[in-house]
């Protein structure tokens, strides 16, 4: 853990070299401001910690950011400290050579122990802030693989790998097969009963594997936050 910058956002640095930062993002923190110009985002923290990152990347609203996590998703997130690293990491995401895994608690008993969801994702016809497993002129291909780690009464704990990074991808794909993420307010089904004590969506970015600029492979893991562990203990 490095020294905390002067920012009210409290983040752990899991990995750092001269080019790359990997941060453990808590739930409830936006990665970058939206059109609403929110403050105290992960980007604000990055700028406070490493001011030179302001000039990194292709969008001044999200300097150094090469991928995102939803506000209420916790876990590992990579940021680039210079433009060489930004382009290097961006290419790894485009080539789908970066490995990302998540832990998710899904509603219901998922029938198969493992499976792959390849439904295209587009904007919801009812709400432009949501996405849908829909094939239309705006849809983009998406690839989600899951494996059941443990079954509970009414829920399934899944390990999920993704090759694409569409907005809300895991949440949309799991809802599309009838097993929305527990605690997900946007994609929940009617009359769903949430696990006792769960205050947000049960989705955590738990694993990252990527290449540094010098060619070395970095492999990182993040445990479930205590709040989510307690939910599983109650189940």
Kindly give the confidence (pLDDT) of every residue in the chain, 235 residues in length, as a single tens digit, with 9 standing for 90 and above: 343 455 555 678 999 999 999 999 999 888 866 555 556 789 988 998 999 999 999 998 889 999 989 999 999 999 999 999 999 999 999 999 999 999 999 999 999 999 999 999 988 777 767 788 878 788 899 999 999 999 999 999 999 999 898 989 999 999 999 999 999 999 989 888 899 999 999 999 999 999 999 999 999 999 999 999 999 999 9
pLDDT the model gives residue 40: 75
Q: Which of 130, 140, 64, 73 is nearest to 102 (CA)?
A: 73
How far apart are alpha carbons 118 and 100 in whole angstroms? 17
Task: Judge whether 44 counts as a catalytic residue.
Answer: no
Which pLDDT does position 205 carry in this prediction? 97
Residue 47 Rama label (left phi>0; alpha psi -120 to 50; beta): alpha
Domains of the chain: 1-95 (3.30.2350.10), 99-235 (3.30.2350.10)
Categorise residue 173: left if φ over 0, alpha if ψ from -120 to 50, beta otherwise.
Answer: alpha
Q: CA-CA distances (angstroms) from residue 146 to 150, 161, 177, 199, 202?
A: 12, 6, 12, 24, 15
The whole-angstrom separation of Cα 81 and Cα 9 is: 19
pLDDT given for residue 38 in this prediction: 52
3-state secondary structure of 90: helix
Q: What is the pLDDT of residue 3?
A: 39
Which of 10, 19, 58, 70 is an active site residue? 70
Buried residues in 132-145 as b, exposed as e (16+ CB within 10 A):
bbbeeeebeebbbb
DSSP 3-state percent helix, strand, coil across the chain (nearest 5): 20, 30, 50
């Amino acid at each position: 853990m490095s020294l905390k910058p002067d920012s009210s956002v409290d983040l752990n640095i899991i990995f750092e070299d001269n080019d790359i930062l990997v941060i453990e993002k808590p739930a409830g923190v936006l990665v970058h401001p939206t059109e609403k110009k929110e403050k105290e985002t992960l980007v604000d923290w990055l700028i406070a910690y490493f001011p030179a990152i302001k000039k990194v990347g292709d969008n001044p609203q999200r300097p150094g950011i090469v991928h995102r996590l939803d506000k209420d998703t916790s876990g590992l997130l990579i940021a680039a400290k210079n433009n060489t690293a930004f382009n290097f990491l961006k290419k790894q995401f485009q080539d789908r050579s970066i490995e990302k895994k998540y832990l998710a608690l899904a509603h219901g008993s998922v029938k198969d122990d493992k499976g792959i969801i390849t439904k295209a994702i587009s904007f919801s016809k009812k709400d432009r802030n949501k996405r849908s497993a829909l094939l239309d002129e705006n849809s983009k291909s998406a690839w989600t693989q899951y494996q059941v780690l443990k079954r509970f009464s009414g829920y399934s704990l899944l390990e999920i790998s993704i090759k694409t990074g569409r907005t809300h991808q895991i949440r949309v794909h799991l809802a599309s097969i009838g097993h929305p993420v527990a605690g997900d307010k946007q994609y929940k089904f009617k009359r769903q009963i949430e696990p006792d004590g769960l205050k947000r969506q049960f989705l955590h970015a738990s694993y990252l594997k990527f290449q540094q600029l010098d060619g070395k492979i970095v492999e990182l893991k993040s445990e479930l936050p205590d709040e989510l562990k307690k939910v599983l203990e109650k189940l």
